[in-house]
Structure 1
């Protein structure tokens, strides 16, 4: 059964609703230009009220390893999601588990970080929340068991994606009422389809 991360959490109500519906992970965006940006101290207040066994993921863009380490420590995050082509030196300096993100422009990009868990998202100018999807036929014949698929996902897409065997799905805009505010009904439908 694929894991599901609800990303772009900005408030406790949405966080608790996502967990109650069966989300495995919550994502917090520490990228100031994003409409889903959350300050580390606010994320820490939300995370302090979460039940155990929930993955708390921080999303970072073009920042220093020290900043990632400090934010993860302050907010009690369990995983850092790295959204740019960071160097090996950067990764070596991280004190926290991390998930690299591959911003896919062609089928060949899907083989980056092969053999390790990674998030794959369609390339867009800028970062995050554009709702663009990767071409499904690019996954044919590939081992998707360590891929977490993101980008333009909605409940009606999931049935067609099941045969690929993705490790998980990462959804944000597809379960929102407005940017930064989740829809209980959309989250429920997404998680129901993901777990079908």
Structure 2
């Protein structure tokens, strides 16, 4: 039997970070995209990262970030994984010499397998719902039947996940991991600790 890993994204404060770690999440995400209501400063991110402890993967989410900004973040925040949600090229993603995930927004006409193949150096591929002009965090699902069954890369499922549908999502797709942000919030950037626990518990029960 296998289980899907769980990442809780959009952490903005230490209390929520502790709740994520205590609930047993495999990873937590910090958003370095100023337009997001979940964006953190370098000071906030550094404090949260040190709360995470050694066995929770601290992930930084970026959207078409300038190399100078990337360098400033990496110099100050101990990120173990990078997550790119913009139009970043493979060469750009690999230039930071850190493990990375590339997010792919599931446009209706997209050749998913071909897009995954464009990022051979990625540690994993995150599939997210598509809405024009919004690089993630839409709170919407997409057709899970489009998730490739033999992708050649670990697939992380995002988009509209909640404690109510995460088990069904895992049973349907058999993905390596699931990623949630808005689905465990009481308000943008503020996590609901009960929802975090329920989400993780339901994901853990969904073995395949």
TM-score (norm 2): 0.86
1:173 to 177, 182, 194: 182
TM-score (norm 1): 0.91
Question: 8 Å contact 1:34–1:128 — kept in the other structure?
Answer: no
Equivalents in 1 of 2:134, 2:169: separation in Å? 26
The farther-off stretch of 126-135 and 62-71 is: 62-71
The residue number in structure 2 matching 1:122 is: 129
Q: Which runs of 5+ in 2 are unaligned?
A: none
Deviation of 1:95 (Å): 2.8
Question: 8 Å contact 1:36–1:179 — kept in the other structure?
Answer: yes
Equivalents in 1 of 2:156, 2:76: separation in Å? 26
Equivalents in 1 of 2:137, 2:116: separation in Å? 23
State the 4+ residue runs in structure 1 displaced beyond 6 angstroms. Answer: none
Equivalents in 2 of 1:107, 1:183: separation in Å? 35
The farther-off stretch of 186-195 and 104-113 is: 104-113
Question: 8 Å contact 2:17–2:51 — kept in the other structure?
Answer: no
Equivalents in 1 of 2:23, 2:109: separation in Å? 33
Question: 8 Å contact 2:129–2:142 — kept in the other structure?
Answer: yes
Question: 8 Å contact 2:86–2:135 — kept in the other structure?
Answer: no
1:65-107 CA deviation, whole Å, 9 max, x = no partner? Answer: 3422331231111111011121233124223221111111137
Q: Please tell me whether residue 148 in structure 1 is matched to residue 156 in structure 2.
A: yes
SS at 2:44 equivalent: helix
Q: Please tell me whether residue 89 in structure 1 is matched to residue 96 in structure 2.
A: no
Question: 8 Å contact 1:78–1:97 — kept in the other structure?
Answer: yes
Q: Which runs of 5+ in 1 are unaligned?
A: none
